[in-house]
């Protein structure tokens, strides 16, 4: 008897071989299969008539195969198929379609889904690279019921053409039949009733095989009650886990710091300027937490340049004045060093003698050992270093506060692992991030952290002038750079890659373009160009209505990217001749990077040619120009961070986004947004929409759970609801004992199996 936790290999129609493939796709048990939801639906109950199609629309069509042929053009083989309904016909084309030869027979019925394009030669419409399914011929075939005459689910294939939609449909249909009445509910009945959500079984049935009459738009947008229920369920369990974590933490003993006049005076002595209202509010929230006996877990979110560092420094003084040690962890050596130098300068203003220690990988072993000894024996007050070093190898005498400068890394998971002495109190923790994700999202994703936001920039900033400039006007750009340098200012020029097209470009230095450009981006690092890339490119070309046959050199064109190394030499010898120039990239060793960065900071370098290594947090107020070449290659968040490197002083600043060649619509939209606004939240919102949450937040390692059904951008309202409901459930569940037990059981299982989160103590 099949159950939800039955391994897939024991499902009818799945042998060990297929099971292995499925497990690789993280589909291990029956339940995983049932949660492999269709990504779209086709209305094969009311299929469209060919005669009613309109050019430009996406349409599902059921038609009869009339004939096929393989055209060998000069550049590539093209597979053509004519389909018909009565007197109307339509042509379908697949580039590089040799693999389709022999697949179709005249008289067969096929379901096609694709964009309707006008066709010049035949006056009829055509579809380029439509998705297709050959329909069963025998209407008595039992699977016929699943394919036509209904709203048909379309699935992402689980293994190429083998485990495609038709296969999945049949397996899931059979499973749902076998499990009828036996899919246990996972949410309390009272909650479902109050929220008006259907049962789990009903929902699973309805998302896979929607009842006739379900509105197609609701289905395609994952907006049916059944979808909502499944999405809610997933988010509810995430939020429940976060809620519990937060409660468990709050129950632990931390340090109750005092914030008396002595502490206030110590802070006052180091403050070089009046804090903004936002900074005061954030510090207030932080200090309130620090005074409580429970450990603080707080996120300090603020756009680039909003002045997070000084807030953190003040919090660290509170800890130190209370006789504890504080630590500041930065994501890169450059940044750690910069924090160290900045903190030293500020702390020197105090009458107190604060003891600072820098701990980075490039220190030699002896100095590292010495630093660790000082930290261990309590001979230092403030430790500044890189995440890795501090997390893994340091034993503190009495650590009271840890500040983590995360920049854009994100996480529901806390990677925080300071070695602790037995019985020591749990240190307070403050995480700083410059990623301006919308507040509701931050709250839900960092559900176990409290949130402070710096929503105001320090005064005296002149807005940055942002321009999009095409390569042809490079002359003007270099002239601007020279003029600014003549006025005593400095400039950054940023490139997407270190050297020419090489295989080993570190990822760090290469922005992942949005998926639309991801294909062509592959051609940069690798010598081969994927089939997918070619056909996709060809599609866009055709779709753009060029009408011409694509030329091969066109198709296989390698985008030539300007690189930091080459342009450093090039500019030095030409447009920027005579200026003092520096080159910075991820392949220099830490010492070299630091030397260059310091020289730039001291004003000994006029123009810094760099990769995105400068993106994180570097602060040189005298820099007034940021030139970004191949700007279309960078993500919005990254462009925004880069732009944040200028405009840090009172001088008028410029951000020049240079582009070469044709831009994709997304690329153009990103750049237009950069020109339009400087508001990080607005840009983040757009970025989320353009790229989707996966790309925005980075990989799973970045801490974002891998959802099966939910999409945190699309489902933000449900995320908020789930957060409220989980708090309510944990606080005072309207549920029977049996239901509660089931939720806790499932929660434990979900967190271990799905999110892979290891609960640390």
714, 205 in Cβ contact below 8 A?
no
Query: Which residue's Cβ lies closest to Mg ion?
Result: 617
Q: How many DSSP H helices and E strands does the chain contain?
A: 26, 21
* Of 369, 334, 299, 332, the residue nearest 703 (C-alpha): 299
Residue 688-727 contact track with Mg ion, rule CB under 5 A, x = bound: ----------------------------------------
Look at residue 48 and give its three-state secondary structure: strand
Helix (H) or strand (E) holding 730: helix 716-732
Residue 286 CB, nearest approach to ligand ADP (Å): 14
Nearer to Mg ion, 130 or 617 (CB): 617
Among 79-87, 276-284, 547-555, 613-621, the segment contacting Mg ion (CB under 5 A): 613-621
CB-wise, 496 or 617, nearer to Mg ion?
617
End-to-end C-alpha distance for the chain, whole angstroms: 38
- Range 646-685, binding Mg ion (CB under 5 A): none
Q: From Mg ion, ligand ADP, none, which one binds at residue 37 (CB under 5 to 8 Å depending on kind)?
A: none
Give dist(CA 63, CA 82) in Å, integer: 10
Residues 74-113: x where in contact with Mg ion by CB under 5 A, - otherwise, as a string: ----------------------------------------
Q: Which two tokens stand for residue 282?
A: 């954030």
Which one of Mg ion, ligand ADP, none interacts with residue 304, CB within 5 to 8 A by kind? Answer: ligand ADP
Query: Residue 576 binds what, of ligand ADP, Mg ion, none (CB under 5 to 8 Å, by partner type)?
Result: none
Buried b (16+ CB within 10 A) or exposed e, 199-236: bbbebbbbbbbbeeebebebbeebebbbbbbbbbbbbb
Bridge partners of 132, per DSSP, are: 112
CB-based closest residue to ligand ADP: 307
Using the minimum distance from each CB to ligand ADP, give the nearer residue, 75 or 309. 309
Name the 3-class secondary structure at 528.
Answer: coil
Residue 543 to residue 263: CA distance in whole angstroms:
67
The residue behind tokens 């600014």 is: 484
Cβ pair 478, 575 in contact under 8 A: yes
Look at residues 717, 445, 181, 749 and name the one whose alpha carbon lies nearest to residue 757. 749
Q: Which residues contact 247 (CB under 8 A, 6 or more apart)?
A: 730
Minimum distance from residue 332 beta carbon to ligand ADP (Å): 13
Closest CA to 751 of 413, 448, 352, 310: 413
Q: Residue 617 or 635: which CB sits closer to Mg ion? A: 617
Segment near Mg ion (CB under 5 A), from 63-71, 254-262, 414-422, 614-622?
614-622
Q: Which is nearer to ligand ADP, 271 or 713 (CB)?
A: 271
How many C-beta neighbours within 10 Å does residue 579 have?
A: 18
Q: CA nearest 636: which of 676, 585, 587, 583?
A: 676
CB of residue 645 to ligand ADP, shortest distance in Å: 9
What distance in Å separates the CA atoms of residue 430 and residue 410, rounded to the nearest whole number?
Answer: 14
The 3-state DSSP class for residue 298 equals strand
In terms of CB distance, is 210 or 436 closer to Mg ion?
436
Applying CB under 6 A, the residues found at the interface with ligand ADP are 273-276, 279, 302, 304-310, 434, 458, 617, 619, 621, 648
Are 111 and 132 in contact by the 8 Å Cβ rule? The answer is yes
Closer to ligand ADP at the Cβ: 210 or 307? 307
Reported in sequence order, the residue ranges of 208-309 that DSSP labels E, i.e. its strands, are 297-302
Find out whether 408 and 615 touch, Cβ atoms under 8 Å. no
CB of 408 to Mg ion, least distance (A): 11
Minimum distance of ligand ADP from residue 692's CB (angstroms): 26
186 contacts which partner out of ligand ADP, Mg ion, none, CB within 5 to 8 A by kind?
none
The C-alpha atoms of residue 62 and residue 70 are separated, in whole angstroms, by 22
Closest to ligand ADP by CB, 53 or 315: 315
Cα 200 from chain centre: 30
Q: Which is nearer to Mg ion, 382 or 561 (by Cβ)? A: 382
C-alpha dihedral, 704 to 706 to 712 to 713, nearest 10°: 90
Least gap, CB of 273 to ligand ADP (angstroms): 4
**Comparison of 290 and 300: residue with beta carbon closer to Mg ion:** 300
Q: Residue 511 binds which one of ligand ADP, Mg ion, none, with CB within 5 to 8 A depending on kind?
A: none
Q: Which stretch binds Mg ion (CB under 5 A): 312-320, 490-498, 609-617, 686-694?
A: 609-617
Q: Residue 617 or residue 660: which is nearer to Mg ion going by CB? A: 617
Minimum distance from residue 164 beta carbon to ligand ADP (Å) = 48
Rounded distance between C-alpha atoms, residue 347 and residue 266, angstroms: 10
Binding partner at 619 among Mg ion, ligand ADP, none, C-beta below 5 to 8 Å by kind: ligand ADP
* Helix/strand/coil (H/E/C) assignment for every residue in 681-701: HHHHHHHHHHHHHHHHHCCHH
Cβ-contact 525, 633 below 8 angstroms:
no
Write down the least CB distance from residue 597 to Mg ion, Å: 14
435 torsion bin: left (phi>0), alpha (psi -120 to 50), beta (else): beta
Tell me which stretch binds Mg ion (CB under 5 A): 44-52, 206-214, 225-233, 616-624. 616-624
The rounded radius of gyration (Å) of the Cα atoms in the chain is 30
- The item of ligand ADP, Mg ion, none sharing an interface with residue 648, based on CB under 5 to 8 Å by kind, is ligand ADP
* Min separation Cβ 556 and ligand ADP, Å: 43
* Residue 621 interacts with, from ligand ADP, Mg ion, none (CB under 5-8 Å by kind): ligand ADP
In whole angstroms, how close is the CB of 338 to ligand ADP at the nearest point? 9
By CB under 5 A, the count of residues binding Mg ion is 1
**Minimum distance, C-beta of residue 46 to ligand ADP, in the bound complex (Å):** 55
From the list Mg ion, ligand ADP, none, partner contacted by residue 563 (C-beta under 5 to 8 A by kind):
none
Task: For ligand ADP, give the closer residue by CB, 59 or 453.
Answer: 453
Half-sphere exposure of 570 (CA within 13 A, CB side): 10
Query: Binding residue for Mg ion (CB under 5 A) from 617, 635, 644, 703?
Result: 617
With CB under 5 to 8 Å by kind, the binding choice for 165 among ligand ADP, Mg ion, none is none
CB of 279: closest distance to ligand ADP in angstroms? 6
Q: Which residue, 586, 588, 590, is CA-closest to 363?
A: 590
Q: Which is nearer to ligand ADP, 264 or 666 (CB)?
A: 264
Geometric angle at alpha carbon 536, from 534 and 542, rounded to 5°: 100
Applying CB under 5 A, the span of 75-83, 517-525, 610-618, 722-730 interacting with Mg ion comes to: 610-618
Identify which of residues 305 and 427 has a Cβ nearer to Mg ion in the complex: 305
Which of 274/439 has CB closer to ligand ADP? 274
- Residue ranges in contact with Mg ion by CB under 5 A: 617
């Amino acid at each position: 008897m099949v159950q939800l936790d039955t391994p897939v290999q024991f499902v009818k129609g799945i042998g060990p071989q297929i099971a292995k493939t499925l497990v690789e796709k993280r589909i291990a048990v029956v339940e995983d299969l049932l949660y492999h939801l269709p990504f779209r639906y086709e209305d094969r109950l009311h299929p469209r008539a060919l005669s009613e199609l309109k050019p430009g629309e996406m349409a599902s069509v059921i038609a009869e195969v009339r004939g096929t042929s393989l055209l060998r053009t000069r550049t590539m083989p093209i597979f053509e198929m004519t389909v018909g309904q009565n007197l109307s016909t339509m042509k379908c084309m697949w580039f590089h379609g040799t693999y389709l030869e022999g697949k179709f027979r005249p008289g067969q019925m096929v379901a096609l889904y694709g964009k309707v394009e006008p066709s010049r030669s035949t006056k009829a419409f055509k579809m380029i690279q439509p998705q297709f399914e050959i329909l069963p011929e025998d209407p008595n075939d039992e699977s016929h019921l699943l394919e036509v005459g209904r709203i048909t689910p379309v699935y992402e294939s689980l293994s190429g053409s083998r485990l495609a939609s038709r296969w999945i449909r049949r397996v899931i249909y059979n499973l749902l039949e076998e499990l009828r009445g036996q899919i246990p509910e996972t949410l309390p009945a009272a909650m479902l009733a109050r929220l008006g959500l259907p049962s789990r079984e009903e929902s699973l049935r309805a998302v896979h095989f929607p009842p006739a009459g379900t509105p197609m738009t609701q289905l395609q947008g994952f907006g049916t009650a059944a979808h909502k229920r499944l999405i809610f369920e997933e988010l509810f369990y995430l939020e429940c886990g976060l809620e519990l974590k937060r409660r468990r933490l709050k129950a632990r003993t931390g340090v109750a710091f005092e914030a008396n006049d002595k502490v206030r005076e110590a802070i006052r002595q180091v403050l070089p300027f009046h804090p903004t209202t936002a900074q005061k509010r954030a510090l207030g929230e932080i200090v309130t937490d620090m005074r409580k006996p429970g450990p603080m877990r707080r996120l300090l979110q603020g756009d680039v340049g909003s002045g997070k560092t000084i807030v953190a420094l003040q919090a660290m003084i509170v800890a130190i004045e209370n006789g504890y040690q504080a630590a500041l962890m930065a994501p890169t050596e450059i940044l750690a060093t910069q924090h160290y130098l900045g903190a030293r300068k500020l702390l020197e203003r105090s009458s107190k003698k604060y003891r600072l220690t820098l701990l980075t990988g490039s220190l030699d072993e002896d100095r590292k050992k010495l630093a660790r000894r000082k930290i261990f024996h309590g001979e230092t007050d403030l430790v500044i270093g890189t995440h890795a070093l501090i997390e893994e190898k340091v034993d503190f005498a009495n650590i009271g506060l840890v500040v983590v400068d995360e920049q854009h890394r994100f996480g529901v998971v806390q990677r925080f692992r300071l070695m602790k002495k037995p019985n020591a109190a749990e240190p307070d923790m403050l995480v700083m991030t410059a990623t301006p994700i919308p507040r509701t999202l931050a709250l839900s994703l960092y559900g176990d952290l409290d949130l402070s936001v710096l929503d105001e920039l320090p005064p005296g900033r002149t807005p940055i002038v942002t321009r999009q400039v095409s390569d042809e006007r490079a002359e003007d750009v270099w002239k601007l750079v020279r003029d600014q340098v003549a006025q005593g200012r400095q400039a950054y020029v940023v490139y997407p890659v270190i050297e020419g097209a090489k295989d080993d470009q570190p990822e760090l230095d290469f922005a992942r373009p949005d998926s639309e450009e991801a294909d062509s981006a592959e051609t940069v690092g690798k010598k081969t160009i994927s089939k997918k890339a070619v056909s996709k490119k060809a599609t866009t070309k055709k779709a753009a209505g060029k009408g011409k046959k694509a030329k091969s050199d066109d198709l296989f064109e390698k985008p030539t990217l300007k690189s930091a190394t080459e342009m450093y030499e090039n500019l030095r010898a030409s447009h920027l001749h005579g200026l003092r120039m520096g080159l910075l990239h991820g392949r220099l060793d830490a010492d070299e990077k630091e030397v260059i960065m310091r020289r730039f900071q001291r004003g000994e370098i006029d123009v810094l040619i760099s990769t995105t290594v400068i993106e994180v947090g570097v602060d040189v107020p005298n820099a007034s120009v940021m030139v970004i070449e191949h700007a279309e290659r960078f993500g919005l968040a990254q462009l925004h961070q880069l732009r944040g490197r200028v405009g840090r002083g009172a001088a008028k600043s410029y951000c020049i986004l240079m582009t070469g060649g044709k831009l994709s619509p997304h690329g153009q939209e990103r750049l237009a947004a950069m020109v339009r606004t400087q508001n990080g939240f607005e840009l983040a919102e757009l970025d989320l929409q353009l790229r989707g949450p996966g790309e925005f937040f980075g990989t799973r390692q970045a801490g974002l759970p891998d959802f099966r059904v939910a999409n945190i951008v699309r489902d933000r309202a449900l995320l908020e609801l789930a957060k409220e409901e989980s708090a309510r459930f944990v606080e005072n569940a309207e549920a029977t004992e049996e239901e509660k037990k089931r939720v806790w059981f499932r929660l434990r299982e979900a967190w271990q199996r799905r999110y892979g989160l290891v609960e640390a103590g």
